[in-house]
Amino acid sequence: MAASGEEVKLLGVWPSPYVIKVKIALELKGVRYEYLEQEIWENKSELLLKSNPVYKKVPVLIHNDRPVCESAIILQYIDEVWAGARPSILPSDPYERAIARFWAGYFEDTWFYGAIKILQVKTEKEKAEAIEQSFAGLSLLEETYEKSFKGKPFFGGDNIGYLDIALGSFLGWVKTIEKMSGLKLIDGAKFPLLATWAERFCSVATVKEHIPKTDKMIEYCSKVLQPKWHALNN
């Protein structure tokens, strides 16, 4: 929990999985913060431009007037600054920490952008290729869970950790892609471990409130399923 006299603000936009990631981390650590919704397509606020003058993107964590940008960096910052608050987000073992960062990076930077193409491509061939690539990536994650985390409720062990947050923050988008495409991605028959994990993750009280509703996400997709999607997140 933030100490008395500390000021913590989060600049974000509600559908961004990268913003959701930071919200979940702050909630799990018990850090009190003020959330400031931003306009990131036009008329960006002076606070956002001042806090992230390089990329002008969200999320931005402002701790005692000092901004921290990029969601992965923010999570590490939260974990280190509030190290004594509840379980650690990042694994203490260097190898496990490296593995968690690797799979988080793969999912955020490669898998998700491939999955979103299912809704963007114009031909059936391109759609089939996007679906095949999405299933291949999920197969790799299922295999990783089985080999390294089987028997544990979360990728982080008994508690939600870095990889859980990184993957779980995209579940609202995954459900939206599934509903809009009529395709089940995290299929319990194909990926039983991932499906069980996703259900368990979304049932955690501090997580559940931050996963956006599918119908609301579908309404928003007319804006974000465009090249400017990259301006939304980091």
Examine the domain organization and report whether 77 and 106 are in the same domain: no
Backbone angles phi, psi at 224, to 5 degrees: -85, -20
**CATH number for the domain harbouring residue 43:** 3.40.30.10
Examine the domain organization and report whether 31 and 135 are in the same domain: no
Determine, yes or no, domain membership for 75: yes
Examine the domain organization and report whether 51 and 131 are in the same domain: no
pLDDT for the residue 191: 97
Examine the domain organization and report whether 159 and 207 are in the same domain: yes
Q: How confident is the model at residue 1 (pLDDT cuts 50, 70, 90)?
A: low
Examine the domain organization and report whether 119 and 224 are in the same domain: yes
pLDDT for the residue 125: 96
**Full-model pTM:** 0.92
Examine the domain organization and report whether 207 and 116 are in the same domain: yes
Q: How confident is the model at residue 68 (pLDDT cuts 50, 70, 90)?
A: very high
Inform me whether the pLDDT recorded for 144 exceeds 50: yes
Residue 120 vs residue 101, higher pLDDT: 101
Examine the domain organization and report whether 77 and 162 are in the same domain: no
Contact assessment for residue 202 and residue 168, using Cβ atoms and an 8 Å cutoff: yes
Kindly write down the DSSP assignment for every residue of 149-178, as one continuous string: ITTSSBTTBSS--HHHHHHHTTHHHHHHHH
The Cα–Cα gap between 184 and 178 comes to: 5
Examine the domain organization and report whether 61 and 101 are in the same domain: no
- Mean pLDDT for the stretch of residues 142-162: 90
pLDDT for the residue 149: 79
Per-residue pLDDT tens over the stretch 210-234 = 999 999 999 888 766 654 555 455 6
Q: How confident is the model at residue 10 (pLDDT cuts 50, 70, 90)?
A: very high
Examine the domain organization and report whether 114 and 142 are in the same domain: yes
Domain final position from 27, 60, 81 = 81
pLDDT for the residue 180: 93
Work out the mean pLDDT of the chain and round it to a whole number: 92
Domain final position from 54, 81, 108 = 81
pLDDT for the residue 86: 86
**CATH number for the domain harbouring residue 142:** 1.20.1050.10
- Mean pLDDT for the stretch of residues 153-164: 94
Determine, yes or no, domain membership for 2: no
pLDDT for the residue 221: 85
The Cα–Cα gap between 96 and 148 comes to: 10
Residue type, 63: H
Examine the domain organization and report whether 46 and 140 are in the same domain: no
Per-residue pLDDT tens over the stretch 34-58 = 999 999 888 999 999 999 999 999 9
Domain that holds residue 217: 94-231
Contact assessment for residue 85 and residue 49, using Cβ atoms and an 8 Å cutoff: no
